[in-house]
Structures are given as C-alpha cells and as structure tokens.
Amino acid sequence: MDAPLWVFGYGSLIWNPEFPVAEQGIARLDGWHRSFCMRSIHHRGTETDPGLVLALDTAPDSYCDGVAFRVVPGTEAETMAALRERELVSSAYLEITAPVTLRDGRAVTAVTYVVDQAHVQYCGNLPLEDQAQIIARAVGGRGPNTEYLRNTESHLREIGLRDPDLAWLVARVEELPSTL
C-alpha cells in the first residue's frame, strides 16, 4: 500500500486548498518560519508592481504552525499537478517533502513549498512597515494583496494559531491608503 499524500499549508492553502481533502489537522514544521519574503508577480501583484506572498524561509531554531491536509486517495496525481501549476508558476518556490507533526502526535511526511533564497523574487528580512506599504497597494491575478493577508490571518486565528507579525500587518494595512 502506498503512503497517503499529505500537504502542509501555511498561507493561502489553509483557506483555499483547491484539492480534495480527506483529513486535515494543525501541524508543526520545524526549521522554517512563515514570512512575507517573496515578491508576487502573478497572484497578488504584477511584474511592474509586485505584491508579497508568504513563503517558508529557513530558520533552524524556529518552526511554523500550519495545517496538514491528507489528500483524498486516488486524487494524488491531479492534486500534485494542480499544486505545481499554482505554486511553481515562477519557480520562486521549491517543492520539498518534510516531516510535520500533527497536534494528535502523529508524524507524517508532507509536500510543502519553501522559498528559493537565490531567486530574484526572494526578499527576506523586509521591515514590517515596508511589507505593509507593498501589501496595501498590490493587486494580481488572484486579487488584492490585502485580501490574501486578511484571509490568511483570520483563518489562522479561527483555528487557534496566532501570528503576531500578520496581526500587526492587518492593523497597519487598515491605516494605509489603498489603491482599490
């Protein structure tokens, strides 16, 4: 029997997985942290006015809490094709498999997407104020960057996960003029 396919989501996959889910649970991925460290030139910005999207950036003494999704058996090939079309649109993400631990104690191996620090879209360590200024004005093929931020932060809160940086960004973006 083949092992089930698990996918680890830390951003928009949490609220919009776009694949059939058999099971999901809060999970932790060690050695990475969620960060607005990737310029978005397709989904939440354009090449001439990039937005920002979340990515997993390496952080050896850190972790990221997110959601692990077990894919409906029999849909693995379609799920991977859809994920690759969505996540690898500009090659700024790298697809990896990594061990994640579900809250119920199970350890599973999950596919996830991490930022390629050598890619031109990588912008690690941007100050939060700079992130807010970019997010407030950017719009891409999947809509406003503000929508991406708000949806991710609110869904994390709904499942009991706090991300202080995202909470600060939501509050700050509300104060800024928007191009919408």
Look up 95 and say whether it is catalytic: no
How do beta strands 93-102 and 139-140 pair? unpaired
Active-site residue (options: 47, 78, 85, 87): 87
| CA-derived radius of gyration, the chain | 16
- Nearest alpha-carbon partner for 52 in 117, 157, 147, 118: 147
Which of 145, 154, 82 has the alpha carbon at shortest distance from 111? Answer: 82
CA-closest candidate to residue 137, choices 7, 73, 50, 47 = 50
Contacts of 46 (CB under 8 A, 6+ apart): 138, 139, 140
* 116's tokens: 């390629």
Instruction: List, by residue number, the catalytic residues.
Output: 87
